[in-house]
Every structure is written in structure tokens, then in C-alpha cells.
Structure 1
Amino acid sequence: MGAWAVHVKATYLQMRMYIWGVILLILLGRLADFIVSLFIDSSQSTRLSDGNMLILILPLIAIVLPLTYYKRIVHLGASREQYFKGLLFVFAVFAAAVALFNSFWYVLEVHVIRKYTNTIDLIEAFHWNDFGLAGSFLYQTAFYLMAMALLSMLISGYYHPVGWLLTALLLAAIPVGTAIPSLRVHVVSFFKALLFNGSLPAGVGFNLMLFCVFAAGGWLFTRGRTH
């Protein structure tokens, strides 16, 4: 367990500027909202949950670490396999931490914060709250892990033509899929199964299946990296 803790500590130290930067931006944004509310009536306005804003930390981790952490740890003598397993463990820790915070923040929001201000929460928007506190936590963790693995795979493949091709295909998939009527129904069905699944086991399982696919793709790119 000591080796895993080293990965978490090392990556936190590398990412703390970004993490605290996101937290500072959230605090500054809320301070600006408070100042504006002193001069105008904002009681009817709706804003995104503060807890949801912390999700911004996760894509930053998934993008920055494959670019910088890989070089540092491999140069220190670690193998690519050790780096990659450590990276996935770090993803799991941060995804679970943000999901846990969001789950409890949503409870606080519903029972306290919404008495004073209107907020919209992604947990509610995607109906994850239908599964209860534990179910919401599991669904969030699985989705965040999947998204981080996808971003990490694309970033890890920046040196390879296949990586560029995958990035181009994924960027084009949604606009092309929604523009063509015959494909639109499949795009909608995909996102419904991914984000709005009415079954907790099916929703979590689908996200974890995609996580495994993207993790495997990330490993294929990682083991071929030379820089």
C-alpha cells in the first residue's frame, strides 16, 4: 500500500497548484455573486452547484499527469507498467473523492443551501439521486473514472498517428451523429445508457466497461512511449 500512497502524494504535489487554483476560482466566483446580489435582486437566478465545479479538477488531472508525471517517474527508474498502474490508482482515488464530496454536498444543498439560493446539481440533472447516497456515489465514480481514462488515453497517444486519428474521430462523432437523423437515435441512446441509465448496475457497468476499454487503449499507447 505504501507504493500506492507514494503515487497519490507525488501526483497531488504536482497537481496542487491546479487543484487550489480551481478552488480559488470557485471562491472568487461566489464572492462576485455575493457582491452583485447586494445591488440587484438575484433570488430568481439559478447557478451551478459549487460541488459540481470541483469536477473541473478531474479532467485537469487526466490531461496534465500523462504529460508530466510520466516523464518524472520513468526518469526516476520506474517502469511504464508501474507508472500506468499508479496513474489508474490515482484516477480512482480522485474520482472517488470528488464523487463522495459531491454526494454529501448535494444533501447539504437540498436541505440547507436551497433555502437561500437556487442551484442546479448534476446529480439531480442526471437523476443519479434516484439511487440514493451510495448509488449516486457509485454512478459518479464510475463515470468520472471512464471520462478520466478517455482523456488520459487521448493525451497518452499524442505522439502516435493513431492517437491523433482517435481524437479527430471522437471530436467529430457527436456533431456528425446528431446531424444525421439515422444516427441521432443511436447517439441519444448511447448517452442515455451512459448518463441517464435507469438501472444502477447497468449504468455503472456500462461506464466501467468503457473505462476498461479506454484504460487498455491508454496502456497500448503508454508502453510504446519513448518520451
Structure 2
Amino acid sequence: MGAWAVHLKATYVQMRIYIWSVIIFIMIGRLAEIMVTLSIDSIQSARLSESNMLILILLLIAIVLPLSYYRRIVNLGASREQYYKGLHLVFAIWAAAIALFNSVWHVLEGYVFQNHSNIISLIGAFHWDDFGAAGSFLYQTAFYLMAMALLSILVSGYYHPVGWLLWALLIAAIPVGTAIPSLRVHVADFFKTLLFNESLLIGVGFNLLLYLVFLGGGWLFTKRRTH
């Protein structure tokens, strides 16, 4: 348990400037929007929920830690396996924390806050709220964890030609898939299964399956990593 606490503390210290920068950016943006709305008295346009913008923290964690945390912890004597397990523990905790906050905030927006009709929430957009608060939390956690693992494997493979190939395939996949009619339906089915699934079990399971694939791929890069 002490080792996990060390990972959490060390990664937070390394990421805190990014975390608080995102939070301050959200607060300043919201304050500016309120001031403009009050001074102009205009009709409010649609905007993304503030809680959803915290997902930026997850993206930064998944990008920054594989680049810098690896060198720091390995230089302190940790093995690659210890680093990798600690990294994904941190991913899981942050994904669950943001998912929980989003779920609670979504309920507050719907039942407590006023003038929430112009707010766009990913929970509502993807119909995760159809599964209730607990189901929404599970779906979000699985999706965020999968997305963080995907970013992590891409960043961890920056030194290897296979990693460059993965970047090229990812960048080309969506535009090519949507441009070719025969592939377009498969691309749509993939994202529907991933994000808009009508079954909580299948939706969460599919995201976790992809997470396990990316987890294994990331380990293949990490165990051969020398810098």
C-alpha cells in the first residue's frame, strides 16, 4: 500500500502545475463568460460543461507521465514493471475521480443549477445517463481509462518505429475510414459500440477490452525502453 501511495504522491507533484493550470483556466473562462453575459444581456450560446473540461487533466496525465515519470522513477531504482503498474494505478484513480465528479456535477446541473439548458454534457450527449448515476460512472471510468492507455502507448512508443507506425495508422484511420463508403459503416458501428452503446455491460466491456489491448501494447514498449 505504501508503494502505491508513493506513486500517487510523486505523480501528483509532477503533474500539479498542469492540474491547477487546467482548473484555473476553467474558472477564468467561466468568470469571463458570466461577466460578458451580465454586461451584454444576450442569449447564452451552448457551452461544454465545466466538469467535462476536467478531462483535459486525464489527457495531460496520459501524455506527460510516460515521458518524464519513467526516467525519474527508474533512476531512483524502480523496475520497469513497478513503474508500469504504478502508472496504470494512477490512471485508474484519476479516471474514476473525474468520472465521479462528472456524474455528481451532471446531477447538480439537472436538478439544482438554473439555466442549464444551454450546457452540453458528454454524459447526456452519449446517453450514459440512461444507465443511472452508477452506470454513468462505470461507463465513463472505462472509457477514460481506455483513452488514457491509448495515449500512453502512443507516447511510450515514440522511440520505436512501431510507435511511429501506430501514430500514422491512427491519424489516417478516421479520415480514410469515413472517406470510403464501404468502411464508413464500420467506423460508425465502432464508435457506436464504444460510446453510444445501449447495453451498459457491452459498452463497459468493450472499453475495458480495448484497455487491456493497449495495456499489453504499452508494456511491450516499456519493457524494451532504455530512456
State how 1:122-133 maps to structure 2 within 5 Å.
122-133=122-133
Cα RMSD, aligned residues only: 1.0
Report the TM-score when normalising by structure 2.
Answer: 0.98
Distance 1:194 1:116, change over 3 A: closer
Partner residue, 2:153:
153
Partner residue, 1:138:
138
Which runs of 5 or more residues in structure 2 are unaligned?
Answer: none
Distance 2:204 2:105 in 1: 21
Distance 1:205 1:94 in 2: 19
Contact 1:146 1:211 in 2 (8 A): yes
Distance 1:28 1:79, change over 3 A: same
Deviation at 1:142, TM superposition (A): 0.1
Matched, 1:220 2:220: yes
Partner residue, 1:70:
70
Contact 2:109 2:116 in 1 (8 A): no
Deviation at 1:117, TM superposition (A): 6.3
State how 1:80-95 maps to structure 2 within 5 Å.
80-95=80-95
Report the TM-score when normalising by structure 1.
Answer: 0.98
State how 1:136-215 maps to structure 2 within 5 Å.
136-215=136-215
Deviation at 1:116, TM superposition (A): 6.0
Distance 1:221 1:116 in 2: 45
- For 2:206, the aligned partner's letter is F
Contact 1:66 1:155 in 2 (8 A): yes
Distance 1:112 1:42, change over 3 A: farther
Contact 1:149 1:214 in 2 (8 A): yes
| Same amino acid, percent of matched pairs | 74
Matched, 1:3 2:23: no
Superposition misfits of 4+ residues, deviation over 6 angstroms: none
- For 2:55, the aligned partner's letter is I
Contact 1:43 1:117 in 2 (8 A): no
Distance 1:81 1:183 in 2: 38
Which runs of 5 or more residues in structure 1 are unaligned?
Answer: none
Partner residue, 2:113:
113
Distance 2:27 2:53 in 1: 10
Distance 1:191 1:57 in 2: 23
Deviation at 1:113, TM superposition (A): 2.1
Deviation at 1:2, TM superposition (A): 1.3
Deviations 1:10-55 (A, max 9, x none): 1011000000000000001011101111222344421110100101
Tell me which moved more, 117-126 or 20-29. Answer: 117-126
Contact 2:81 2:223 in 1 (8 A): yes
- For 2:34, the aligned partner's letter is F
Contact 1:7 1:87 in 2 (8 A): yes
